[in-house]
């Protein structure tokens, strides 16, 4: 068997699988979005229908809030863990990365345990402190999901910063907070943009967490789900999926161009 034949054989299974289960289905999805009476104007309809538009806005707002909060928390914690060696550091690191393997549904359950009717907060502060099923609960769920991912990206980038940069700033008389603003944050900027884009895309598309928590909240994945299963509005579900897919794909493209690493949405 020649080298050419062998390479062809190596790629063949992957190409067949990808065509059959990725390329053609995606093409079908895009076509299906134009198959209602409205045709391709369905994308215009999304913007003209108050319910879809407010869903879109609400999803984007929550996702931005999660991105900002996850960046702030994970950057602070990540820098602290990279720059300090102390007893218990590895334990803290393990705790912070443990939820990496939790699917969105489990994360949703974690928030129910914190803020549900039988949740911790409601037990400690009785008086209807039930927030699990509100937009704040959803925000916390997405945050729970994003903190470990952003943290790992930040720490990987922070470990690559030349320690001499910080020492140089100190020899030039810079106080600690100026080292953060002048040296560390600029050096981390690409990683922060990448991690932020991932957090945003993840929050936009998070289905599992929303499925557990957002029974009464209109966020994009839930609306797609109800359009498809309850209203059987296939075209609108497809169109909204296409919009969601394009947004998250674009965000991850940004992330990739800044970090070059493999990143994943999900949840």
Partner 1 sequence: MTLTLGNIAKTFPCGTRALRPTDLEIEQGEILSLLGPSGCGKSTLLRIIAGLETPDPGASIVFDGEDVTHQSVDRRKIGMVFQSYALFPNMSVRGNIGYGLKMQKLPRAEIAARVEEVIELCRLEPYADRAITALSGGQRQRVALARAMAPRPRVLLLDEPLSALDAALRGQLRDELALLLREFGITAIFVTHDQDEAMAIADRVAVMSQGEVAQIGTPEALYRNPATGFVARFVGDAMPLEGHIERETLHLQGGMLGLPRASDGQQVLVRAEDIRIDPQGPIAARVETVTFLGTHYRIALSGAMTGPLFMLHAGFSAPKPGDKVRISIPPEALLVLPLDTAA
Partner 2 sequence: MRHVTRHLPLAVTLLACAFLLIPIIQSILAGLTVNYFRGLSSGLTLKWIGQVWELYSDSIFLSIGLAMACLAVTLVLGVPAAYVLARNPGRTSRVLEEFISLPLAIPGLALALALLQLYGTVQGFRTSWTFILVGHVLYTLPFMVRSVLSVLAAIDLKTLEEGAASLGASPVRRFIDIVVPNAMPGILAGALTVVTLSIGEFNLTWMLHTPYLKTLPVGLADSYASMRLEVASAYTLVFFVMIVPLLMAMQWASARAQRITQ
Binding positions for partner 1, rule: CB under 8 A: 162, 164-165, 167-175, 178, 182-183, 186-187, 189
List 67, 74, 153, 259, residue binding partner 2 (CB under 8 A) = 74
Nearer to partner 2, 159 or 167 (CB): 159
In the complex with partner 1, which residue's Cβ is closer, 183 or 213?
Answer: 183
Nearest alpha-carbon partner for 165 in 179, 178, 152, 177 = 179
Written as six digits, the tokens of 65 are: 């809030």
What distance, in Å, lies between the first and last C-alpha atoms of the chain?
Answer: 44
Residue whose token pair is 């099923």: 133
Report the alpha-carbon distance of residue 264 to residue 267 in Å, rounded. 10
Q: Return the residue of 42, 66, 111, 199 that touches partner 2, per CB under 8 A.
A: 111
Q: What does R_g of the chain's alpha carbons equal in angstroms? A: 22
Q: Least CB distance from residue 147 to partner 2, whole Å?
A: 6
Q: Is the Cβ of residue 169 or residue 243 nearer to partner 1 in the bound state?
A: 169
Q: Toward partner 1, which CB reaches closer, 196 or 221?
A: 196
Give 117's contacts (C-beta < 8 A, 6+ positions apart). Answer: 130
Collapse the DSSP code of 110 into the 3-class scheme (helix H, G, I; strand E, B; otherwise coil) and give the result: helix
d(CA 220, CA 241): 9
Q: Which does 196 bind (CB under 5 to 8 A by kind): partner 2, partner 1, none?
A: none
Residue closer to partner 1 (CB basis): 170 or 256 = 170
Per rule CB under 8 A, count of chain residues that contact partner 2: 86
- Whether the CB-CB separation of 263 and 63 falls below 8 Å is answered with no
Q: Residues 57, 68, 185, 264: which binds partner 2 (CB under 8 A)?
A: 264
> Binding pattern to partner 2, positions 134-153, x when CB under 8 A?
---------xx--xx-----
Out of 56, 62, 79, 155, point to the residue binding partner 2 (CB under 8 A): 79
Closest of 209, 1, 100 to residue 220, by C-alpha: 209
Contact pick of 52, 109, 133, 139 for partner 2 (by CB under 8 A):
109
Tell the smallest beta-carbon distance from residue 250 to partner 1 (Å): 26
* Token pair listed for 39: 């045709």
CB of 30 to partner 1, least distance (A): 41
Nearest to 145, CA basis, from 60, 203, 64? 203
């Amino acid at each position: 068997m020649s080298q050419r034949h062998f390479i062809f054989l190596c790629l063949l299974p992957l190409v067949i699988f990808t065509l059959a289960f990725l390329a053609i289905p995606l093409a079908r999805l895009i076509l299906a979005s134009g198959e209602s009476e409205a045709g391709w104007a369905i994308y215009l309809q999304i913007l003209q229908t108050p319910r879809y538009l407010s869903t879109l806005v609400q999803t984007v707002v929550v996702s931005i809030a999660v991105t900002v909060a996850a960046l702030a928390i994970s950057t602070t914690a990540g820098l602290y863990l990279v720059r300090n060696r102390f007893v218990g550091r590895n334990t803290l690191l393990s705790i912070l990365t443990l939820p990496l393997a939790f699917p969105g549904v489990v994360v949703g359950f974690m928030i129910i345990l914190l803020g549900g009717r039988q949740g911790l907060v409601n037990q400690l502060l009785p008086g209807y402190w039930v927030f699990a099923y509100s937009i704040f609960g959803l925000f916390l769920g997405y945050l729970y999901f994003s903190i470990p991912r952003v943290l790992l990206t930040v720490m990987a980038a922070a470990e690559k910063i030349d320690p001499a940069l910080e020492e140089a700033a100190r020899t030039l008389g810079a106080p600690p907070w100026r080292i953060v603003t002048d040296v560390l944050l600029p050096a981390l900027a690409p990683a922060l943009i990448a991690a932020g884009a991932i957090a945003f895309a993840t929050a936009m598309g998070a289905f599992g967490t929303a499925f557990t928590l957002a029974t009464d909240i209109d966020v994009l994945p839930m609306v797609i789900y109800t359009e498809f299963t309850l209203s059987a509005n296939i075209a609108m579900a497809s169109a909204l999926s296409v919009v969601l897919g394009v947004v998250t794909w674009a965000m991850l493209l940004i992330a990739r161009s800044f970090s070059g690493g493999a990143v994943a949405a999900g949840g």
